[in-house]
Amino acid sequence: MAYTNITLHKEGAVAILTVNRPKALNALDDLTFDEIATAIGEVGADNEARVLLVTGSGEKAFVAGADIPSLRALESAFDGAALSRKGQEVFDLVERLEKPVIAAINGFALGGGCEFALACDIRIAADTAKLGFPEINLGLIPGYGGTQRLPRLVGVSVAKRLLFTGDMVDAATALKIGLVDEVVGAGELMEKAKNLADILSQKAPLALRLAKRAVNEGLESDLDRAQILEASLFGIACGSEDRVEGTSAFLEKRKPSFKGR
Ligand code: DAK
């Protein structure tokens, strides 16, 4: 599939999606959203792609937000709501992809860019990255899931402070508040992110899928229901060939070879 505003390629079992509008600091316009959605479908259908890594092109930005000219051109509240739903749906696809998704945050991750990172499973940031939600300075609020995913990740008080002030935080602060999971030198970001992706690509794909679903869906339920869900998903894992392979390999003191069945 040929893309204009993103690139998608594979390195072994790792698919790498790069938002590629460097002149606009990789801001998300309509076409970019469409292409991200198509790419997620492509990666989901590719049995050889075990992990997705997302990043931004150039050294300056991961994604500097929604495309501001598109936001200015909105003509009505209905246009705004439709745009918001579209972004939400695309980031839901990211969150629901049945493979781990790692965000390699190589620079500014602002507004919609930070919302993109929030929809990923794991966030690794370059020490030069800056993250934040400047929407308030544009007379807006985050419209792509940010007001909901941010407090779930960092807590209500820290989230409100970020959303109300619009202040950017540096990578070290982002790590301290739990907005990212790891900070690495800018020059080694992709290497570190690929290393983690490689490690995950060797884990049992079905179990990864089930673990992701258990966490994501369980967090939206009360503990009793979430544990019933966990038991069901555990049962599904028990029915897999990978469970037989994993437990046998342990007992036979060898490395498991998971097939995703
Ligand atoms: N959109 C389009 N172009 C952008 C952009 C963006 N978000 N951010 C930067 N650019 C463009 C700049 O216009 C500039 O273009 P030229 O002038 O060269 O043509 C180029 O990228 C380089 O940017 P700067 O010259 O500004 O670079 P600096 O190093 O000086 O500053 C910066 C970097 C990231 C601090 C600055 O560019 C900046 O503040 N950018 C805007 C950040 C921002 O406010 N992002 C938007 C967040 S709001 C909703 C749906 C969605 C959302 C909200 C509501 N509804 C439907 C209701 C989400 C909104 C957002 O994401």
Distance in Å, CA 70 to ligand 1 centroid: 11
With cut-offs at 50, 70 and 90, classify the pLDDT of residue 146. Answer: very high
Compute the distance from residue 237 Cα to the ligand 1 centre, in Å. 44
Predicted local confidence at residue 216, as pLDDT: 97
Ligand 1 atom at minimal distance to the Cα of residue 114: 61
**In 3D, which of 261, 256, 245, 258 has the Cα closest to residue 13?**
258
Nearest Cα to 163, choosing from 151, 152, 181?
Answer: 151
Scored b (16 or more CB within 10 A) or e, 147-167 reads bebbbeebeeebbeebbeeee
The alpha carbon of 69 and the centre of ligand 1 are apart by a number of angstroms equal to: 9
Q: Would the pTM count as exceeding 0.95?
A: yes
pLDDT digits (tens, 9 = 90+) for 193-244: 999 999 999 999 999 999 999 999 999 999 999 999 999 999 999 999 999 9
- For residue 54, the model assigns a pLDDT of 98
The DSSP H or E segment spanning 156 is helix 156-165
Catalytic residues: 115, 135
Ligand 1 atom at shortest distance from the alpha carbon of 61: 34
Name the 3-class secondary structure at 229. helix
**What local confidence, expressed as pLDDT, does residue 161 receive?**
98
Domains of the chain: 6-201 (3.90.226.10), 205-251 (1.10.12.10)
Residue 186's pLDDT is what?
97
Q: What is the pLDDT of residues 168-202, one digit of tens each?
A: 999 999 999 999 999 999 999 999 999 999 999 99
157 confidence band (pLDDT: 50, 70, 90): very high
**Per-residue pLDDT at 107:** 98
Proportion of the chain above pLDDT 90, given as a percent:
99
Angstrom distance (rounded) from CA 82 to CA 149: 19
Q: Provide mean pLDDT across the span 3-21.
A: 98
Position 1 confidence tier, pLDDT thresholds 50, 70, 90: confident
Query: Would you say the CB of residue 146 lies under 6 angstroms from ligand 1?
Result: no
Report how far Cα 215 is from the mean position of its chain's Cα atoms: 14
Average pLDDT for the chain: 97
Q: What is the pLDDT of residues 108-133, one digit of tens each?
A: 999 999 999 999 999 999 999 999 99
Give distance in angstroms: CA of 219 to centre of ligand 1: 32
3-state helix, strand, coil in the chain (%, to 5): 55, 15, 30
Mutate to test the pocket of ligand 1, among 68, 70, 90, 108 (most ligand atoms within 8 A of CB): 68
Distances (CA, A) of 224 to 141, 230, 231: 34, 10, 11
- CA-closest residue to ligand 1 atom 38: 64
Other C-beta atoms lying within 10 Å of the C-beta of residue 95: 16
